[in-house]
Amino acid sequence: MSHAASGMKRLLPRPARVLLLALLSAASLPAAEAPARFTGSPSCATSMCHGGAGELRHQTTIWHKQDIHSRTYNTLVNARSAQIAAALKIPDATTSSRCTTCHAPFHDVPKSAFLADITKPAEGVSCESCHGPAEKWIRSHTRPDFSHKDRVLLGLRDLNHLYVRANSCVACHQAVEPALLAAGHPELLFELDGQAVSQPKHWREKGDWQGPKAWLVGQAVALREMSAQLAKEKTPGEKLTAPWTASLWLLQKLDGLDSALPAIKPASNATQAHRAADTLARRAAEMEWSHELTRQVLQRLTKTHTEFADAKIPRAQQARRAERLVLALDRLTSPLDKAALAKLEPDLKELFALAQSLPDFTPEKFAKSLESFAKKL
């Protein structure tokens, strides 16, 4: 097994790497069972499809010109990547699977997995990185008599489903191997709703879209990924344990929120948390969300101002909790009307400022600001 394939084993593999493993093993499968091949972003970009000028036909243009995912390869050739590569004795970041698996995912895919030699690693994270290899569904997905379910059955990844979407994104937006962190790779903090909102949209959300629901699914999947990484490390350092502890703390505040959602609190180690978090993500993605649920989550999280005032809790631990909490408050308040948001905005800005620097975090100030925020709710 290659270095790239052997490094992909984990409690719950990253979806992108699962796809790659399937492609790597395709040669040993009967032709009827061979996975679908990639057709390349040019096959999506014709003027009659996703490369046109119409309001619903310019998705490729948005991705290519506005979306940072089209430029992930460029990250591998900047000075910071060169420093990280030098520290890890990686000759070339643009050809190392430790880097390309997320920044240039097509680099490690065999040529036999493509219908034509039109896809280059330099195009970064493109259409099929998220929507899946298109060979089996590209011709039929525009047919008016085909339902979304029909397309999914042919291999189109169901990104309308929040659990599927979160799994597709978290693969490269949460866990980073400790050696890369030690060499200077930035820590990652996955937040499904916030990151989707900040991304230039080449899609439309369904009419029943609920940002707070997406936030919860994303946080549960993030905890699952952190738990998987933590469980496989023999001596995990503070950069792995601290974010995991903070994420666990945040989601435990929601135990008992709804009968459909499992409790996280019994989780006493990473393996238990992994199972509980995945169950939480699956059930949250299936449940009907409401403004009342959003209100209850906000109330529970803002009540933690008493914990931030507790001097017995280590400051470093409080700082990590605050980091997660302010992002949660930002997403949970986003559906509020303009008047309510205007009233909360000064306190929310102050909370963000107080949580911005982990070394300079002052729990007492944060507790007061959070209490003020809670009263205005």
pLDDT of residue 34: 77
Whole-prediction pTM value?
0.88
Cβ atoms < 10 Å from Cβ of 334: 15
The answer for residues whose C-beta is within 8 angstroms of residue 353's C-beta and 6 or more apart is none
pLDDT of residue 267: 84
pLDDT of residue 16: 46
User: For residue range 21-41, what is the model confidence (pLDDT) as tens digits?
Assistant: 344 344 444 445 678 999 989
The secondary structure element, H or E, covering residue 209 is none
Cβ atoms < 10 Å from Cβ of 219: 27
Which ranges of the chain have pLDDT less than 50?
A: 1-31
Angle at 119 between CA 117 and CA 120, to 5 degrees: 110
Q: For residues 132 and 48, what is the distance between their CA atoms, to the nearest angstrom?
A: 21
pLDDT of residue 33: 62
Mean pLDDT of the chain: 89
- The radius of gyration of the chain from alpha carbons, rounded to an integer in Å, stands at 22
The answer for residues whose C-beta is within 8 angstroms of residue 154's C-beta and 6 or more apart is 136, 137, 140, 141
Residues 189, 327: contact at Cβ < 8 Å? yes
Residue 106: CA count within 13 A, CB half-sphere: 28
